[in-house]
Amino acid sequence: SSEAETPNEPEDAADDSTKRPSLHPIAIDAIEEAFRLRAQNTTTSPLRLIDAQTEWFQVHYSIVKFADRFLEKYKKSSTESSTSSDNDFQWTEEELQTIGGRIVGVLMRLDDLEWEWNHRIRTSSLADADSSSMIPSDVWKTTLGLHPGDVEQNCFRTVDTALSEDKDFARARAEKMLALFLMNIELPGLEASESKVPGGSYPNFIEDTVQMELMMPRPTKE
């Protein structure tokens, strides 16, 4: 939406956006679905290090397979549900690779992204009881994509259960994780290599300017 466009929005934010649909909703769908799958904590397809027997290569393999299966399922459902009004729209291979790369990129770093977002929020005015911009704890799930209380880093099963049962919570969290990944991992990487991806990397689905500021890359300490 137009509300999401800020003066700091990078040039690539609008690339092809008038011609092609945004890639972001599909990646958000996938991350949201991954939360529910991860919550099962199955050792056959682990999306996190579940116990001492789980190897990181198993997690990596499961994440890549999940992304492949999600995009295959998405392409199949899109083909089956397409109508003449869709004008036979199809994603390009480059667009699908970009979406797949984002799904894998976020899920590979999910623990770190979750920790980082929780830390940034809890050390901001949004969690400060004396601040006029404080967000009440009863809307943290849908507004910030975070579980209120002291459970985020202490009781992952509580968070898993909440994400499985509350679709709005899972959706909001998926949006925050993708946005944090785009701003702190993808965009700096593309700028360093002077590259671009279809549709650009700006998370225009984050409309709250305070949250957007909190998602900006932090200066690295020397």
Give DSSP secondary structure letters for the chain.
Answer: -GGG--TT--GGGGTTTTTS--SHHHHHHHHHHHHHHHTT--SSS-SS--STT--HHHHHHHHHHHHHHHHHHHHHHHHHH--GGGTT----HHHHHHHHHHHHHHHHTHHHHHHHHHHHHHTSGGG-TTSTTPPPGGGHHHHHS--SSS-TTT-HHHHHHHHHH-HHHHHHHHHHHHHHHIIIIIHHHHHHTT---TT-S--TT---HHHHHHHSPPPPP-
In the predicted structure, residue 118 carries a pLDDT above the cut 60 = yes
Confidence at residue 219, expressed as pLDDT on a 0 to 100 scale? 81
Mean pLDDT of the region 179-193:
96
Q: What is the mean pLDDT of the chain?
A: 87
**pLDDT tens for each residue of 57-91:** 899 999 999 999 999 998 888 777 665 455 567 89
Confidence at residue 84, expressed as pLDDT on a 0 to 100 scale? 45
Q: Is 117 exposed, middle or buried (0-12, 13-18, 19+ CB in 10 A)?
A: buried
Confidence at residue 16, expressed as pLDDT on a 0 to 100 scale? 45
Percent over 90 (pLDDT), the chain: 68
Tell which residue, 2, 218, 13, has the closest CA to residue 116: 218
